[in-house]
Chains A and B, each alone.
Chain A
């Protein structure tokens, strides 16, 4: 085990952020669906065993989310695991207040996960084409957090409606980000979107 920081080590906050998704937002002419890259969103995963102060403080049950007063969105991603979303560049602020006493860790995964938002009146219909989760309002209401396969990529999803319209934040491993964006864009052609040059999964 190395006891000191190896030469050449670069702190993640010092690396210029680069999204794996190289295309801009895609939307249909009638505005029924839009797909946007939101990878720069700060993402912090907190794993905290039951009974720890961190678990009690986060307090959001698995499958639900809650917006805190400081603008951080706390998602119960898995049992004893939470993902915290905040505006870009806020990882240190989000991690700092987490009480790490006990079996707890908090890790900045901003660079490691791609994230995109699918929104619009037909967002649910688009997602239903490539996701096997029941997206009905009574199963996955606004604020629901769930994981499943999207275009055969294992993803964490959050339903975060905007202005009364369905909206989903989808995050996956960074290396799948470019493919997943292209797959969602491809699925959106049914609703009238046209793909930019160079974006294709076929």
Chain B
């Protein structure tokens, strides 16, 4: 079990939330190359360490927020509303 700290609801079991993956920057569709667009859609860093992720609080406040999670230890820190 991973305990995720929702900025609105407080600490919740991760089964109450939905992970939405690493935070990425969306390139401008008008100017992005196919390579940049593919990278945005499909490629993730997936480090063994701290990563900034978006989560959705589906059973509680129904808001999106970002947290930092250590993918090696599942520690989390510094959540904030998106």
Contacts and interface: CB of A to CB of B under 8 A. Distances in A.
B26 interface: no
A147 B60 contact: yes
Contacts of A132: 13, 15-16
Interface string B1-45: 000000011001101100000000000000000000000000000
Interface string A46-71: 00000000000000001100000000
B59 interface: yes
A32 interface: no
Nearest to A62: B8
Contacts of B15: 132, 149
Contacts of B16: 132, 148-149
Contacts of B8: 62, 78-79
A154 interface: yes
Contacts, number: 29
B11 to A, nearest CB: 9
A79 B62 CA distance: 9
Interface string B54-69: 0000111111000000
A146 interface: yes
Interface residues of B, number: 12
A148 B61 contact: no
B10 to A, nearest CB: 8
Interface string A144-156: 0011110000100
Central interface residue in B12, B15, B58, B60, by most chain A CB within 10 Å: B60
A149 B61 contact: no
Contacts of A149: 15-16, 59
A139 B43 CA distance: 40
A147 B63 CA distance: 13
A55 B16 CA distance: 27
B49 to A, nearest CB: 29
24 contacts: A62-B8, A62-B61, A63-B9, A78-B8, A78-B62, A78-B63, A79-B8, A79-B61, A79-B63, A132-B13, A132-B15, A132-B16, A146-B60, A147-B9, A147-B59, A147-B60, A147-B61, A148-B12, A148-B16, A148-B59, A149-B15, A149-B59, A154-B58, A154-B59
Please give me the 4 A-B residue pairs with the lowest Cβ-Cβ distance, nearest first.
Answer: A78-B61, A147-B60, A154-B59, A148-B59
